[in-house]
């Protein structure tokens, strides 16, 4: 039976709130609500107070919310308005300063909260996200399981990839294989980009048919127990790679390997990003690597911490991050390789398979 981490997560959050001088926090971001209570529904507000943890939701979740939250939260279900019910909860507790999640609560809803309470409403940032950046063994295991599932799905689909198949057809086959293997959903729209479209880092899969000797970039993920995996592979379809393709591929592969091997907790996100970026720039292709090296991954496919030139925060031990260098040349194509890496105290550990040798499909 997996350990129930919710009490310790809530206790850590209460300590943080106390240090910030906050009497309570209204949690509105659904991923944070799930992290703290286990509730997986699409509509809820969560109040974390020194004296109570109260989950407010609507009639659709009258059965689900108590079953999922259990002892982690008192559940209040309102047939008409979660905001009216929240107002009654706020009135019942001594609150001088109420924190709200500025990154997720709209201005309109923040004004609504202010009208519901006599407390001073204070914007906060990343109170729960900072806790989520450090993964428990159970969370790491879920991400690993999602990565393994994703790899198995790709291995099933690749033998049927050939010249003439469209990006949409390949993406549909991959998403079917993911679901059939137990992926709860797709953490993001699957990217299948061929030929010159592989130079679009976040391309939308299109009806374009793959042509011989072209790049095929596939960026995809899986979700297990709510936790995401995020992988990218780039391959050549319908022929052997030419000299330029092989050179760019090996550059990206070397940059990724260098970063994976040298990432350590305690270095800043900027220093982590530089592990790959400096190698690519030294070869004269720094301008072709226009995005950050990676991001945290967990209940959301993009979360803290960040590996980027602007990220000065230290990487915490037991974070899980993507490592995804790439180079992109408009009109020619692009190469990206992405794996998920756990920053353990003894060094980095790939949770995905790291099989990044160049694949050439005939």
Digit-coded pLDDT (tens) for 199-250: 999 999 999 999 999 999 999 999 999 999 999 999 999 999 999 999 999 9
The pLDDT assigned to 251 comes to 98
The pLDDT assigned to 222 comes to 98
The pLDDT assigned to 345 comes to 85
Considering the domain 137-361 in this protein, what is its CATH number?
3.90.230.10
Question: pTM to 2 decimals?
Answer: 0.96
For the ranges 1-5, 19-23, 171-175, 212-216, the lowest mean pLDDT is seen at 1-5
Asked if pLDDT for residue 21 goes beyond 80, the answer is yes
Average pLDDT over residues 269-278: 98
Query: Quick one: pLDDT band at residue 362, thresholds 50, 70, 90?
Result: confident
Asked if pLDDT for residue 79 goes beyond 90, the answer is no
Average pLDDT over residues 76-95: 94
Beta-carbon neighbour count of residue 92 at 10 Å? 12
> Nearest-CA neighbor of 45 among 91, 101, 97?
101
The pLDDT assigned to 23 comes to 97
Asked if pLDDT for residue 274 goes beyond 80, the answer is yes
Beta bridge partner(s), residue 74:
54
Average pLDDT, the chain: 97
| CATH H superfamily, domain 6-132 | Creatinase/prolidase N-terminal domain (3.40.350.10)
For residue 218, give Cα distances in angstroms to 15, 89, 102, 174: 42, 48, 34, 10
Cis-peptide into 261, omega within 30 deg: no
DSSP secondary structure string for all residues of 149-192: HHHHHHHHHGGG--TT-BHHHHHHHHHHHHHHTT--S-SSPPEE
Asked if pLDDT for residue 2 goes beyond 90, the answer is no
Asked if pLDDT for residue 301 goes beyond 80, the answer is yes
Percent over 90 (pLDDT), the chain: 97
Return the structure tokens found at 125. 């940032």
Q: Would you say 81 and 59 are in contact if contact means Cβ atoms under 8 Å apart?
A: no
Please provide the distance, in angstroms rounded to a whole number, between the alpha carbons at the two ends of the chain: 46
- Angle in degrees, CA 60, 8, 101, rounded to 5: 55
Q: Are strands 320-323 and 347-350 parallel, antiparallel or unpaired?
A: unpaired
The pLDDT assigned to 42 comes to 95
Asked if pLDDT for residue 49 goes beyond 90, the answer is yes
pLDDT in tens, 99-109: 999 999 999 99
Count CA within 13 A, CB hemisphere, residue 80.
Answer: 2
Average pLDDT over residues 14-27: 97
Q: Is 91 helix (H, G, I), strand (E, B) or coil?
A: helix
Asked if pLDDT for residue 1 goes beyond 80, the answer is no
| Domain range summary for the chain, segments of one domain joined by + | 6-132, 137-361
């Amino acid at each position: 039976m997996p350990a129930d981490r919710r009490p310790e997560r809530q206790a850590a959050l209460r300590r943080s709130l106390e240090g910030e001088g906050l009497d309570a926090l209204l949690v509105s971001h659904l991923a944070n609500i799930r992290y703290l209570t286990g509730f997986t529904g699409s509509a809820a507000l969560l109040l974390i107070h020194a004296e109570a943890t109260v989950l407010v939701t609507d009639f659709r979740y009258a059965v689900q919310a108590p079953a999922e939250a259990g002892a982690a939260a008192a559940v209040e279900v309102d047939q008409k308005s979660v905001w009216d019910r929240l107002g009654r909860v706020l009135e019942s507790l001594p609150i001088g300063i109420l924190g709200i999640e500025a990154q997720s609560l709209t201005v309109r809803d923040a004004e609504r909260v202010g009208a519901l309470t006599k407390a001073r409403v204070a914007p906060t940032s990343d109170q729960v996200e900072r806790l989520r950046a450090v993964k428990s063994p159970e969370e790491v295991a879920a991400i690993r399981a999602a990565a393994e599932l994703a790899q198995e799905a790709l291995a099933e689909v690749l033998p049927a990839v050939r010249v003439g198949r469209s990006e949409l057809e390949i993406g549909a086959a991959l998403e079917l294989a993911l679901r059939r293997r137990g992926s709860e959903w797709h953490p993001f729209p699957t990217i299948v980009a061929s030929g010159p479209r592989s130079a679009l880092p976040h391309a939308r899969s299109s009806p374009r048919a793959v042509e011989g000797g072209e790049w095929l970039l596939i960026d995809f993920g899986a979700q297990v127990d709510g936790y995401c995996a995020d992988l990218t592979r780039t391959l050549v379809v319908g022929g052997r790679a030419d000299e330029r393709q092989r050179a760019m591929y090996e550059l990206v592969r070397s940059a990724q390997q260098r970063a994976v091997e040298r990432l350590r907790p305690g270095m800043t996100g900027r220093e982590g990003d530089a592990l790959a970026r400096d190698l690519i720039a030294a070869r004269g292709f720094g301008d072709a690597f226009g995005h950050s090296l990676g991001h945290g991954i967990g209940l959301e496919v993009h979360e803290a911490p960040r590996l980027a030139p602007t990220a000065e925060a230290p990487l915490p031990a037991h974070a899980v991050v993507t490592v995804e260098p790439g180079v992109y040349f408009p009109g020619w194509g692009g190469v990206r390789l992405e794996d998920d890496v756990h920053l353990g105290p003894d060094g980095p550990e790939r949770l995905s398979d790291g099989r990044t040798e160049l694949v050439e499909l005939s």
